[in-house]
Structure 1
Amino acid sequence: MKLRLFLLALFAILFFDSRGQLKPHEGYVQVKGGRIWYKIVGTGKGTPLLILHGGPGSRSCGDIAGYSALGNDRPVILYDQLGSGFSDRPTDTTLWVLPRFVDEVTALRKALNLKEINILGSSWGAAVVIEYMITRKPTGVKSVIFAGPLLGTARWIKDAQILLGQMPKKLQDTIHKYEDLKQYNAPAYVAATDSFYARYLEHKQYPAPKSPLCEGAKGFNTEVYNYMWGPTEFNCIGTLQTWTRIPDLHRITQPVLFIAGQYDEARPATMYEFQKMIKGSKVAIVPNAGHHKLQDNPEAYIGEIRKFLKGK
């Protein structure tokens, strides 16, 4: 008992300030398959904001500087999912299932004693968030933000095909040709897909500039992406092929914000359809931005999040 009390006291000294607020720091949490890395920024007194990055297989380091702008309001917690960034990188494919990624959220909340949080899921991170909300029915979640969200695979593919149909016919034909041939590394195919990404992924600059905060972090985990999704944005052949939580959106009772870029892969029109499924939910569209809103128009993106979280 004395040892337990000592450890609790040590935990409080290391991770909380005199007001009981989370201190800025970074560390690791053990989950099934390895350790996940997290970083806390900000000293504001508001309820912490937990952020889940996209992918599957991406990382959080490139977003730290942008989301730090919210740190005056509240602690902001970012972490790398297993297999990503500064987290451990196992090769066991049995780990690449959605429920295990949901387990990471539970483990992180427990390790950091996050009794109350706001939660933001970006792109694939939104899939983890909605699965967490629906299957775990967590307490203490004050609000949910779905940023350019993947909430159902078929709908994501439908949106991608709509956007592809708006590109020059020559590029469409090139993508369709090599998709049919399954030659995803063909130079012409790579160039055509880069053109898609330059329109709808990073609208102002593709690829995104490297962040100094990513020094030492592992790059995008294509093995996880290919296993769960597939080799291309336009067709899912991985384990997420039939996944959807769109029919369950109405079960979320917390305040919800859907936010997307004007030129987002997660199309603005789709955000308004989702809004109809959750009573009282809100939509914000970030002008002159693609899927990577934090890079394309950080002031407008952070401004909308700050406005939504006010008082939460």
Structure 2
Amino acid sequence: MSTVPITEGEIDFVVPAAGKPCKTWYKVVGDLKSRSRRPLVVLHGGPGSTHDYVAEIADVASLYSIPVILYDQLGNGRSTHLPEKNGDVEFWTVQLFIDELKNLLSFFEIQDDFALLGQSWGGMLAASFAVQQPKGLKKLVLADSPSSMPLWVEVANKLRKELPQEIQDALTKHEEAGTIHDKEYIDATLVFYSRHLCRISPMPQGLLTSFHYMDKDPTVYYTMNGPTEFHITGSLKNWSIIEDAHKIVVPTLLINGRYDEAQDEVLLPYFRAIPKVKWVQFAESSHVPHTEERERYMQVLESFLQDD
């Protein structure tokens, strides 16, 4: 791999309802000024995670000279935290994060020509942005991302029923008792994650770092999602973009893993509705094929992102 420049910094993000100055932390891998390849903006999942677990996607900068912008969304990681907004569903909205994305695009002056990759919740965010048909969005990647949270929960419950009975019982017991911070519940959750979040053992450092940040400040995750991937109690529990997905008019790549939490059922509405769409499934992966099948993932991604 060739050496590429890496730049880190912060962007002022004006959010009047926050009651204090806010900043978005970013990392640019590659040369945005060269414009030899269209820049790729990566939206991490969660909601409430960080860029760390999707950092491998920046491989395309060194391999194929595609500049990549990674960032930690507001409330997460190295960006401004607002724990005082915990539980405030009026503040933590999809539109807030769309506004943050628009602010970032404007800061880098790429709003007229860029590609967007959203992973998991990041894909929900990217799809919500794409249905607004922003003029500069040229290519879209929806990776391991649901078209509907009710569908996501339905699939997650099917996967949950395939767990050993004692694991299922532990999950149910603590959810009913409200003791989801108990070690037994956390350990049971990790069994699910080892099957459907990441099949690599031990868990890669990027995922561990993102989990660390989420544990340190779970404000966004708890408010919008809930305690786990399959126990959704937050403001996104009824989110769906199925009715609007046909408004995504740019070429779109769908990605998931064979063992993904995002099983085929949750991506299928995208495939049916988006006019220009391609779907690639990674046979040996679960929810993070960019880590689990890293080399092939970058090849697939670069092939799709080739300039028109």
TM-score (norm 2): 0.86
Is 1:53 aligned to 2:47, yes or no?
no
Counterpart Cα distance in 1 of 2:140 and 2:185: 37
User: Is contact 1:268–1:285 with CA below 8 Å preserved after alignment?
Assistant: no
Amino acid at match of 1:87: S
Partner residue of 2:77 out of 72, 85, 88: 85
User: Is contact 1:24–1:75 with CA below 8 Å preserved after alignment?
Assistant: no
Amino acid at match of 1:257: L
Deviations 1:228-271 (A, max 9, x none): 11112222211112211122111111111110112111013433
Give the structure 1 partner of residue 68 of structure 2.
76
Deviation at 1:298, TM superposition (A): 0.8
Is 1:240 aligned to 2:236, yes or no?
yes
Say if 1:177 and 1:206 are closer, same or farther in 2 by CA, change over 3 A: farther
Say if 1:62 and 1:280 are closer, same or farther in 2 by CA, change over 3 A: closer
Partner residue of 2:288 out of 279, 286, 292: 292
Percent identity, aligned pairs only, is 30
Counterpart Cα distance in 1 of 2:52 and 2:68: 13
Deviations 1:209-244 (A, max 9, x none): 2589x69x9712312111111112222211112211
Amino acid at match of 2:277: S
Unaligned runs of 5+ in 1: 1-21
Give the structure 2 partner of residue 159 of structure 1.
155
Say if 1:273 and 1:98 are closer, same or farther in 2 by CA, change over 3 A: closer
Q: Secondary structure at the match of 2:243?
A: helix
Deviations 1:148-193 (A, max 9, x none): 1133211111111111122222322222222222221233222211
Amino acid at match of 2:42: I
Counterpart Cα distance in 1 of 2:5 and 2:188: 45
Amino acid at match of 2:75: G
Q: Secondary structure at the match of 1:161?
A: helix
Give the structure 1 partner of residue 10 of structure 2.
28
Deviations 1:72-113 (A, max 9, x none): 332111111011122111224254221111101110011110
RMSD (Å), alpha carbons: 2.4
Q: Secondary structure at the match of 1:189?
A: helix
Q: Secondary structure at the match of 1:247?
A: coil
Q: Secondary structure at the match of 2:175?
A: helix
Deviation at 1:24, TM superposition (A): 4.5
Q: Secondary structure at the match of 1:246?
A: coil
Is 1:116 aligned to 2:113, yes or no?
yes
Partner residue of 1:219 out of 202, 210, 213: 213
Unaligned runs of 5+ in 2: none
Deviation at 1:311, TM superposition (A): 2.4
Give the structure 2 partner of residue 39 of structure 1.
27
User: Is contact 1:42–1:75 with CA below 8 Å preserved after alignment?
Assistant: yes
Q: How many residues align?
A: 287
Give the structure 1 partner of residue 187 of structure 2.
191
Deviation at 1:278, TM superposition (A): 1.4
Counterpart Cα distance in 1 of 2:78 and 2:212: 6
Greater Cα radius of gyration, structure 1 or 2: 1
1:103-182 to 2 correspondences below 5 Å: 103-114=99-110, 115-134=112-131, 136-182=132-178
